[in-house]
């Protein structure tokens, strides 16, 4: 009998996607109840897929799909935690969905149910990936992970995960895919935190470059961030930027304006004649978020643009027609004011 050609399909260029694929590969026999050899498992390819591309992708009955929406065709195994993937019907065997902070943490819980002993490293890793994927940060976490530290020998698991994330979050998509795939094709440690083949590639180097890019970005947006006291919202109108620099540090506005409940950022994409809006809420004071931002984005998409906007309760994104930019902003601020 020929052996099945397993493949792992996961959320590309996403740390939770990376860690989910890592856990499935590392603990394959425990999670799936198979008896593959180490060699066979190491050969299983990992393929990064964007969530919106999944349905166009050809899948087989031997595919394992993690941190991605439910595929239309039957697959061998599916596991996700996104609220937008919540199944309407009961799921077949080997299909798993739960509202969990990270898909990685959910997979580890499944592995534990099936006999995996959670070591201290596995527990620390689970905690860190949950914080990162569900934005459960404290202000101290942000200061540690988004600003330079004196000493990296004492890096926490959370900081280490940020360094690893930096390796496939460069501005070169081809490079990102190559690194993502290569790291997962090599010998895996207990978790990414202790995977030698990964640390040999020096994640700190990538992290340092990211920290510099965050600093450049903060310096740039500092010239035009506006805080609206009445609706406790920070408005970042990128049309006011004289230059575009660095990489967005999405938590910065809440360090600069700790009293803020929401932030709204938007910028025009000239080639597509549209404006991309991002709505967020203060991650350190989740109780302040009274408006469902994902739902609001959905509404804006229908009203002013290209649809389909969406997201979660505390964060959302949507694109509108360029000529509707000011109307959309006014609408958003009105809704936030009402819901305050
Ligand atoms: Mn995820």
For position 290, which CATH number holds? 3.10.310.30
CA 25 to chain centre: 20
CA of 2 to the centre of ligand 1 (A): 34
Is a pLDDT exceeding 90 seen at residue 85? no
Q: Is 89 a residue whose pLDDT tops 60?
A: yes
Residue 208 C-alpha to ligand 1 middle, in angstroms? 24
For residue range 210-230, what is the model confidence (pLDDT) as tens digits?
Answer: 999 999 999 999 999 999 999
Residues 136 and 48 in one domain: yes
For residues 106 and 247, state if they share a domain: no
**226-228 β-sheet, strand order:** 226-228, 233-237, 262-269, 274-281, 315-321, 310-311
Same domain flag for 104 and 201: yes
User: For 81-85, 212-216, 218-222, 289-293, which range has the lowest pLDDT when averaged over its residues?
Assistant: 81-85
Residue 1 scores a pLDDT above 60: no
With 70 as the cut, is the pLDDT of residue 340 above it? no
Residue 217 lies in a domain: no
Considering the domain architecture, whether residues 185 and 91 belong to the same structural domain is answered as yes
| The pLDDT of residue 243 | 84
* Dist. CA 109 → ligand 1 center (Å): 15
CA distance 6 to 29: 12
**Domain end residue (candidates: 172, 205, 238):** 205
pLDDT tens by residue, 38-76? 999 999 999 999 988 898 999 999 999 999 999 999 999
Instruction: For residue 66, report the distance from its CA to the centre of ligand 1, in Å.
Output: 9
Q: Is residue 138 part of a domain?
A: yes
pLDDT recorded at residue 257: 98
Give yes or no for a contact between 180 and 12, defined as CB atoms under 8 angstroms apart: yes
Residue 2 falls inside a structural domain: no
Rounded CA separation 286/61 (Å): 41
Q: Which residues of 44-81 are buried (b: 16+ CB within 10 A; e: fewer)?
A: bebbbbebeebeeeebeeebbbbbbbbbeeebbbbbbb
For residues 127 and 134, what is the distance between their CA atoms, to the nearest angstrom?
A: 11
Residue 99 burial class via C-beta count within 10 angstroms: exposed 0-12, middle 13-18, buried 19 and up = exposed
Q: Whole-model pTM?
A: 0.91
Among 19-23, 153-157, 312-316, the least confident range: 312-316
Q: Is residue 294 part of a domain?
A: yes
CA of 249 to the centre of ligand 1 (A): 19
Residues 174 and 39 in one domain: yes
Span from the CA of 47 to the centroid of ligand 1 (angstroms): 16
Q: How confident is the model at residue 337, as a pLDDT?
A: 95
Q: What is the pLDDT of residue 197?
A: 95
C-alpha 156 – ligand 1 centre gap (Å): 21
Any domain includes 213: no
Say how far apart CA 1 and CA 142 lie, in whole Å: 53
Same domain? For 199 and 235 the reply is: no
Ligand 1 centroid–CA 105 distance in Å is 9
**pLDDT score of 312:** 82
Full domain range(s) for residue 233: 222-339
State which H helix or E strand residue 281 sits in. strand 274-281
Total count of domains within the chain: 2
Q: What is the chain's mean pLDDT, rounded?
A: 94
Query: How many percent of the chain have pLDDT more than 70?
Result: 99
Confidence of residue 310 (pLDDT cuts 50, 70, 90): confident
Q: What is the pLDDT of residue 313?
A: 86
CA of 338 to the centre of ligand 1 (A): 31
| pLDDT at residue 271, rounded to an integer | 93
At which residue do the structure tokens 């035009």 appear?
A: 224
CA 286, 311, 11, 207 dihedral sign is: negative
CA-CA distances (angstroms) from residue 190 to 19, 158, 209, 285? 11, 16, 27, 34
Has residue 78 got a pLDDT over 80? yes
Residue 2 confidence class, pLDDT cut points 50, 70, 90: low
In a domain, 63, yes or no: yes
321 and 190 together in one domain: no
Query: Residue 83 has what pLDDT?
Result: 83
- 279 forms beta bridges with 264, 316
What distance in angstroms lies between residue 324's CA and the mean position of ligand 1's atoms? 32
């Amino acid at each position: 009998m020929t052996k099945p050609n397993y493949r792992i399909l996961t959320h590309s260029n996403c740390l939770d996607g990376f860690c989910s694929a890592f856990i499935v590969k590392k603990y394959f026999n425990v999670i799936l109840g198979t008896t593959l050899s180490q060699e066979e498992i190491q050969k299983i390819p990992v393929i990064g897929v964007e969530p919106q591309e999944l349905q166009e992708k050809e899948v087989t009955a031997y595919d394992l799909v993690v941190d991605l929406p439910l595929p239309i065709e039957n697959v061998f195994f599916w596991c996700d935690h996104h609220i937008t993937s919540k199944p309407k019907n009961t799921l077949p065997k080997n299909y798993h969905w739960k509202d969990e902070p990270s898909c990685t943490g959910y997979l580890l819980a499944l592995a534990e149910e099936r006999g995996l002993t959670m070591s201290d490293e596995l527990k620390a890793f689970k905690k860190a990936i949950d914080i990162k994927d569900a934005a459960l940060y404290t202000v101290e976490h942000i200061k540690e992970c988004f600003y330079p530290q004196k000493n990296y020998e004492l890096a926490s698991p959370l900081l280490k995960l940020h360094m690893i994330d930096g390796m496939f979050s460069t501005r070169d998509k081809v490079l990102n895919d190559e690194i993502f795939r290569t790291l997962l094709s090599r010998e895996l440690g207990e978790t990414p935190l202790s995977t030698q083949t990964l640390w040999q590639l020096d994640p700190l180097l990538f992290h340092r470059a990211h920290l510099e890019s965050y600093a450049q970005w903060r310096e740039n947006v500092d010239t035009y961030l506006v805080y609206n006291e009445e609706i406790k919202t920070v408005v970042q109108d990128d049309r006011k930027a004289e230059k575009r620099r660095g990489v967005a540090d999405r938590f910065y506005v809440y360090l600069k304006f700790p009293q803020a409940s929401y932030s709204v950022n938007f910028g025009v994409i000239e080639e597509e004649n549209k404006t991309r809006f991002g709505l967020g809420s203060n991650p350190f004071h989740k109780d302040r978020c009274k408006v469902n931002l994902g739902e609001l984005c959905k509404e804006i998409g229908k009203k002013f643009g290209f649809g389909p906007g969406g997201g979660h309760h505390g964060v959302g994104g949507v694109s509108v027609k360029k000529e509707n930019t000011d109307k959309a902003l006014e609408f958003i601020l009105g809704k936030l004011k009402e819901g305050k």
